[in-house]
């Protein structure tokens, strides 16, 4: 590993960076604010972006920001979720064994949410990650879940998080009009621009406890060019470049090193 060579205390591009050390772009700050509002007002929000732009990471930070005294967050990310599994997944997280039939499980969940609101005085925030993989029927089901007291209020905050096709291949379609009309907040997480890519890399290096500058300006240019500003790809390139740099005993990593690793060490489909 390169940590010793570059005198780092942590791996800079690991996936388990604690929420408080994550890089926060302007779009991320804004989205976190809108999600806090969604939770407080018990709204229906949708968050989309291309793969690897930081949606699940954002939700991790959002979860850490919610006060445990005021909120209960339910998080599901199973792919191809059917309505029955959706209800079961939610009830499981509340520590309740779900009934077999969908209608029964739905009533069970609704009753439980009502008890959490009424007895515990907490608000429920339900986050469905990988929502672009949800079955059509499940998406249609949200309409019933959000309809409470004759549609006069919502019993929970619902946040759908997914890749851009959640809009393009699902929510935009006519069959989801009733669900789409209930969406209160729509957030799109963009890719990072050149200056954010620079700040992103610096923030990771700082987290790693690395005092010295390792990536040159031309290296950051090249990282931005080949990653298109997608955090997951930036991580992969930087990690491989640090490995390569330490093997070559290069204290500085320049654009040639970046070109070398992107051409020789990256698998296809990462851009």
Ligand X SMILES: Nc1ncnc2c1ncn2[C@@H]1O[C@H](COP(=O)(O)OP(=O)(O)OP(=O)(O)O)[C@@H](O)[C@H]1O
Question: According to the binding rule CB under 6 A, does residue 205 interact with ligand X?
Answer: no
Which of 5, 36, 56, 96 lies at the binding interface for Mg ion (CB under 5 A)? 56
Which residue in the set 154, 163, 197, 227 belongs to the binding site for ligand X (CB under 6 A)? 163
DSSP secondary structure of 81-141:
--HHHHHHHHHHHTT-PPPSSHHHHHHHHHHHHHHIIIII--EEEEEESSGGGS-HHHHHH
The distance of closest approach from Cβ of residue 161 to ligand X in the complex, given in angstroms and rounded to an integer, is: 7
| Angle of the 217-227 helix axis to the 255-264 helix axis, nearest 10 | 30
Report the nearest approach of ligand X to the CB of residue 197 (Å): 12
CA 187, CA 170: separation in Å to the nearest integer?
A: 16
The binding track of 206-235 with respect to ligand X, each residue x by CB under 6 A or -, is -------------------------xx--x
- Minimum CB separation from ligand X for residue 211, in Å? 20
Nearer to ligand X (CB atom), residue 57 or residue 138: 57
Shortest Å distance, C-beta 246 to ligand X: 20
Contact flag: residue 164 with Mg ion (CB under 5 A): no
DSSP letters spanning 9-76: SS-TT-S---GGGS---HHHHHHHHHHHHHHHHT-EEEEEESTTSSHHHHHHHHHHHS-TTTEEEEEE
Give the one entry of ligand X, Mg ion, none that residue 187 binds, where binding means its C-beta sits below a cut-off of 5 to 8 angstroms depending on kind. Answer: none
Beta carbon nearer to Mg ion, 55 or 61: 55
Stretch of 29-37, 54-62, 237-245, 257-265 contacting ligand X, by CB under 6 A: 54-62
For 169, counting Cβ atoms within 10 Å of its Cβ (0-12 exposed, 13-18 middle, 19+ buried), the class is exposed
Pair 83, 94: CB distance under 8 Å: no
Q: What is the DSSP letter of 162?
A: E
**Cα separation of 70 and 120, whole Å?**
9
Size of the site for ligand X (CB under 6 A): 17
Rule CB under 6 A: choose which of 15, 41, 80, 175 binds ligand X.
Answer: 15
Q: Which is nearer to ligand X, 11 or 110 (CB)?
A: 11
Cβ atoms of 71 and 122 within 8 Å: the answer is yes
CA 271 to chain centre: 19
- Please report whether residue 195 would count as binding ligand X according to CB under 6 A: no
Contacts with Mg ion, residue ranges (CB under 5 A): 55-56
Contacts with ligand X, residue ranges (CB under 6 A): 15, 17, 22-23, 28, 49, 51-57, 163, 231-232, 235
């Amino acid at each position: 590993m390169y940590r010793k060579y570059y005198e780092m205390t942590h791996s800079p591009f690991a996936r388990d960076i604690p929420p408080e050390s994550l890089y926060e772009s302007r779009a991320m700050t804004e989205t976190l604010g809108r999600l806090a509002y969604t939770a407080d007002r018990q709204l229906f929000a949708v968050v989309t972006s291309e793969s690897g732009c930081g949606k699940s990471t954002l939700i991790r930070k959002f979860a850490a920001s919610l006060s445990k005294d005021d909120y209960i967050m339910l998080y599901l990310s199973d792919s191809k979720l059917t309505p029955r599994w959706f209800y079961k997944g939610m009830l499981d997280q509340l520590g309740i064994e779900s009934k077999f039939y969908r209608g029964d499980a739905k009533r069970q969940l609704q009753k439980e949410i009502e008890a959490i609101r009424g007895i515990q005085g907490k608000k429920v925030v339900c986050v469905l990650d990988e929502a672009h993989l949800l079955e059509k029927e499940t998406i249609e089901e949200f309409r019933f879940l959000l309809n409470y007291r004759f549609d006069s209020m919502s019993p929970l905050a619902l946040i759908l998080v997914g890749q851009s096709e959640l809009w393009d291949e699902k929510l935009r379609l006519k069959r989801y009009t009733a669900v789409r009309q209930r969406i209160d907040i729509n957030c799109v997480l963009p890719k990072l621009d050149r200056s954010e890519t620079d700040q992103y890399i610096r923030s990771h290096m700082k987290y790693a406890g690395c005092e010295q500058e390792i990536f040159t300006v031309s290296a950051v240019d090249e990282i931005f060019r080949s990653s298109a500003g997608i955090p997951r790809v930036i991580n992969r390139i930087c990690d491989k470049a640090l490995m390569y740099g330490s093997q070559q005993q290069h204290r500085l990593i320049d654009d040639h090193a970046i070109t070398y690793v992107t051409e020789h060490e990256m698998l296809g489909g990462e851009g």
